[in-house]
Amino acid sequence: MADEHAKEQPIIVIKKISGHGGHHGGAWKVAYADFVTAMMALFMVLWLLNASQETQKAIGGYFQDPEGNGKLIGSDMAGAGGESIDLAAKDMEKLKEKISQSLKESSKFKELEDKIVMVVTGEGLRIELLESDTGTFFESGSPVPTAQATEIIGKLAQEAGKLPNKLTIEGHTDSKRFAGDYSNWELSADRANTARRIMQVHGVREDQCIQIRGFADQTLRKKEDPSDPSNRRISIIIHHLEGPKKKPADKAAKAEGGHGEEKKADAHGEEKKADSKGDSHGAEKKADSHGDSHGAEKKPAAH
């Protein structure tokens, strides 16, 4: 009996766990990741400090307005597109200087210099023609232009017409109301349209002006004084040039080596190859749905 009890005695296995995981774990990985992140941030700051002014403005504009929509549309000369200024702004600064030199050749420029404001925005170069109490560019309460308006807008058109850039023209009014049915909405749109007609007479192409905007008194230049005459203004925006748009890759070219054919699966899982040349008989290559071992295919007749 003693021998049987000795044989049935259980076997005890002792496993020893080696290593230092209990003491250190993965905490060093977190510390190392923090160190690398801090170094990346340091290098970014050093790079920004040595970057050009245009690059700094572009990056700052992106973080202020990532989608490029802008916070203010037509107000404070921000324009639709707002605060985000891209790298093409340096070209707009040159254009601003060139237009300023051209306007100085006008006999009316000296007396109107303080009524012409140019600023580079997210949209492009915004040129504002500000009204006065006596009506500098348009007759009071009317879309009829003055002699000064025709000369100055004509000079702007001569420079803008040489460019491939598109234009937008805006009309703005103050908050003074009209007695009749004619309102600030009609007045702002009519004045913008008058400016468009003058510009087209003096060199702007018919397809160059892409939009006419009438804002009435919704985007005041001086919000603290809605009746201030400078709220009545015409804004001419010379837009930034858009980069070339990439055409979507042709799926058929990838699938068939650039022969313009596209594979289409029918309800039974077959693959149809549609001829991109538009075979007048509508012939299609069809793969044998029964899995013919010879791989026979029907081919369209050659024309």
Query: Residue 25: its pLDDT value, please?
Result: 67
Q: How confident is the model at residue 92 (pLDDT cuts 50, 70, 90)?
A: confident
- Residue 109: left (phi > 0), alpha (psi -120 to 50), or beta? alpha
Is 66 in contact with 83 (CB distance < 8 Å)? Answer: no
Q: How confident is the model at residue 2 (pLDDT cuts 50, 70, 90)?
A: low
pLDDT tens for residues 127-169? Answer: 999 998 888 899 988 999 999 999 999 999 999 999 999 999 9
Is 155 in contact with 116 (CB distance < 8 Å)? Answer: no
Is 76 in contact with 128 (CB distance < 8 Å)? Answer: no
Q: How confident is the model at residue 63 (pLDDT cuts 50, 70, 90)?
A: confident
Closest C-alpha to 56, from 89, 92, 80, 93: 89
Query: Residue 267: its pLDDT value, please?
Result: 43
Query: Residue 111: its pLDDT value, please?
Result: 85
Instruction: Please tell me the number of Cα atoms within 13 Å of 95 on its side-chain side.
Output: 26
Task: Please state the domain extents for the chain.
Answer: 61-86+89-239, 251-276
Quote the percentage of the chain above a pLDDT of 90.
41
Q: How confident is the model at residue 5 (pLDDT cuts 50, 70, 90)?
A: low
Query: Residue 167: its pLDDT value, please?
Result: 96
| Mean confidence (pLDDT) of the chain | 75
Is 198 in contact with 185 (CB distance < 8 Å)? Answer: no
The interaxial angle of helices 184-201 and 147-160, nearest 10 deg, is 60
Quote the percentage of the chain above a pLDDT of 70.
65
Architecture of domain 61-86+89-239: 2-Layer Sandwich (3.30)
Q: Looking at per-residue confidence, does 105 or 9 come out higher?
A: 105
pLDDT tens for residues 184-220? Answer: 999 999 999 999 999 999 999 999 999 999 999 999 9
How many Cβ atoms from other residues are within 10 Å of residue 13's Cβ? 5
pTM: 0.54
